[in-house]
Amino acid sequence: MGAYVSLGECKSHYNKAVNCTYNFTSPDRDKHMVGGFGRHEVPTDPDVAGVGIVYAFIGVTSFALFLSILHVFWMISKMTPLKSRYPRNESEYRKSQRAGGLSVSVICEKLVMACSDQQVFTGGAYAITLRYWKGCEITAYHYNIISNMMILTCATHLMSVTIVRNYWRYPWLGLLRILIVTGLFIVTGIILSNQNAQTDTFIKLPFPTAIPPDNQIENLMFLPAACFQSNNSLLISTLGDSTKTPEQSKKTLIYSQPGNRIQGWNLFLIILFCYCAAFLVDVVRFFRRGIGKEPRGRRGDFAAKRLRFCAAPGRALKLVVKIFFCLYLLGGIGVSAAAVILSGLYINGLRAWAKNTGWLEVSEGGQSAEDDATSFGQLVPIFLCLLIVFSIAQTITEMNKRYSEKVYAEDGTVIYDPSTSKLMLPTPTPGKEGMHVAEGSATPGTPRFGGWPLPQQQQQQPSSHYFMNNGNHNHQGGSTPPIRPGPRPQQSPRPQQSPNPQQQSSTHSFMNVNHSPQVGTPQSHHHQSPNPQQSPHPHQSPNLQQQQPSNHFFINGNHSPPVGTPHHQTPNPHHQSPNPHHQSPNPQNNSRFLQSPRH
């Protein structure tokens, strides 16, 4: 692709003549010239070095750094004994986090991601503008500011990749982000490496990158940057020079001098290394989560076979992983913090020096356009920073909405889903009633609630009765156990009914009604009922006990018609179940039933 800005590119592709002359020999400073401009005549560029642009850029990166530091220490506190303020059961804590409410880590991650997305477009705009429109006109002073802004962009992207756990929640979106960010890293490397040209430039002088002393007014930094550029891209050669020998590597990392001194080149190399490490960690995270989400899918299969150390780590390996993860978070945020601080100080120091030299063009009031933040080019990025405020409001609103839309059952309400045969049983929670799922069997055999079988005497009965709610219900037992003392209303005898063949295999559904226990039903789980064959009801014939087993559900107080009964038939108020043990309710007896706890 060639260099971003160079004398050869400007002449061959853009047909622009670049003035690389300077004159500092005249005793009269007012006659000094640099790039064909005298004092107070060098064009300003508020879209690059304007006070609004600079502080908006640094402010967004600093805000992302603050959130990242808060998130890192929050995550470390959850992996250390400081976590004692949370429930010891990690699964309960995670469920409470997913249930709703505000989460510090989620808010920090989303805001850091918003800052990264904003600077993706800002950094891309600088790179495209520098390559195609302003490459032949921009001065070395403005070029240095852009290169360090690109370092700030890379630092923000490193923060997002490091701390955001759901970076790959949407794989295609994550892949798009990675491709764009990787492209910005390559562009930043090209911009910085172009400052390493030394011998094949027009004026045979190195690129001026260091901030001159305050008393040094005559400096080549106001010459066009194309005067110091080579016609060829130097990214690969500069990377090779940086690690050619151990001494050169040390010189590059400490003094940022792979050849010529490049401001921020050492920071860029460290950020690039951390970015590659963070990408690998995110890939491991992506496949590691596949074990829980897709245990039989491709992700889960790959993680179980290739990443066995992540699938079922032992106690010692878990400790090693925790230590590595803490160091990984601290390292990524530490490198980003160093880049933000050093690049921010460099940009502000360079702007202050340029303002004091008197070379920049000023208005009639003596103010430079770069110090006026009211221009259109500076107000747009300033107001774009307000998008982060909308991201904060949107994140908090979504989390509160999920929390408020959580369904709570009323005291004692039981939700039954006939399609899945699952019962949503209420459990006590502070202030509100939560929901649990318990599975019940609708077929003859051993009924189960939440995985616990009923007592043995219940399993002897051929029918399964589910009585649910805060009312007094029972499960059919055998002969009459001792009844709690107390007055009992006199019951009228029911007419004897012959069994209906169409009612031998029926399902009756009731719920939310207060069914009283019947005579002959055990009062608690601890009562052992004898064989129900020994105590038939006096009004029922013995052959009723030989009928087919039936399943009874009591839901909403509506007695569902038996199988084979026409829907228009009015139910008999004295209807009696074919099961000989299903007798008339007794409001005074409290026997065993499924009941949610009261608060």
Q: What is the pLDDT of residues 303-352, one digit of tens each?
A: 556 555 555 556 777 788 788 888 999 999 999 999 999 999 999 999 99
Alpha-carbon distance of 119 to 102, in angstroms, equals: 26
How far apart are the C-alpha atoms of 449 and 323, rounded to whole Å? 42
Confidence (pLDDT) at 304: 57
497 located within any domain: no
3-state SS, 263-322, equals CCHHHHHHHHHHHHHHHHHHHHHHHHHHHHHCCCCHHHHHHHHHCHHHHCCCHHHHHHHH
**Residue 344 covered by a domain:** yes
Residue 201: pLDDT band (50, 70, 90) is low
Task: Print the domain residue range for 353.
Answer: 7-403
Residue 261 reports pLDDT greater than 80: yes
Query: Band of the pLDDT at 283, cuts 50, 70, 90?
Result: confident
Mean pLDDT, rounded, for 473-477: 45
The type of residue at 313 is P
Give the pLDDT band (50/70/90) at residue 158. very high
Q: Which of 254-263, 404-413, 440-449 has the lowest mean pLDDT?
A: 440-449
Distance between CA 145 and CA 261 in Å, rounded? 15
Classify residue 44: in a domain, yes or no: yes
Least confident of 105-109, 170-174, 277-281, 520-524: 520-524
Percentage of the chain beyond pLDDT 70 is 57
Q: What is the pLDDT of residue 489?
A: 52
Which residue type occupies 469? N
| pLDDT of res. 94 | 53
pLDDT tens-place string over residues 243-252: 888 999 989 9
Question: What is the number of alpha carbons within 13 Å of residue 195 lying toward its C-beta?
Answer: 27
Tell how strand 464-466 and strand 551-553 pair up: parallel
Please provide the average confidence, as pLDDT, over all residues in the chain.
71
Strands 415-417 and 422-428: antiparallel
Determine the distance from the C-alpha atom of residue 108 to the mean position of all C-alpha atoms in its chain, rounded to a whole number: 9
pLDDT greater than 70 at residue 442? no
Q: Which of 472, 444, 445 is nearest to 594 (CA)?
A: 472
- Residue 232's pLDDT is 75
What per-residue confidence (pLDDT) applies to 346? 96
Check residue 507 and give its pLDDT.
41
pLDDT reading at 571 higher than 60: no
**pLDDT at residue 521 in the model:** 44
Can you give the pLDDT at residue 162? 92
Q: What is the pLDDT of residue 317?
A: 76
Cα–Cα distance for residue pair 65/59, rounded to 1 Å: 10
Q: In 178-187, which positions are buried (b, 16+ CB within 10 angstroms) versus exposed (e)?
A: bebbeebbeb
Q: Which residues contact 495 (CB under 8 A, 6 or more apart)?
A: 539, 574
pLDDT surpasses 70 at 396: yes
Q: What is the length of the chain?
A: 599
Residues with Cβ within 8 Å of residue 417, at least 6 apart in sequence: 423, 424
The pLDDT of residue 493: 52
Report residue 82 as tokens.
């400081």
Pairing of strands 22-23, 33-34: antiparallel
User: How far from 487 is each of 169, 585, 591, CA to CA, in Å?
Assistant: 65, 15, 16
**Token representation of residue 346:** 């460099």
230 vs 177, residue with greater confidence: 177
Predicted confidence (pLDDT) per residue in 360-390, tens digit: 988 877 788 898 888 887 888 888 888 888 8
Closest CA to 110 of 454, 318, 466, 390: 390
Rounded Cα gap, residues 158 and 177, in angstroms? 12
Most confident of 79-83, 107-111, 185-189, 525-529: 185-189
Question: Regarding predicted confidence, which is higher, 435 or 299?
Answer: 299
- Mean pLDDT computed over 173-177: 90
Tally helices (H) and strands (E) across the chain. Answer: 16, 10
- Give the residue, 350 or 547, on which the prediction is more confident: 350
Please compute the mean of the pLDDT values over residues 251-278 and round it to a whole number. Answer: 92
Supply the pLDDT for residue 297: 58
What is the tally of structural domains in the chain? 1
Q: Kindly state the average pLDDT of the residues 490-518.
A: 46
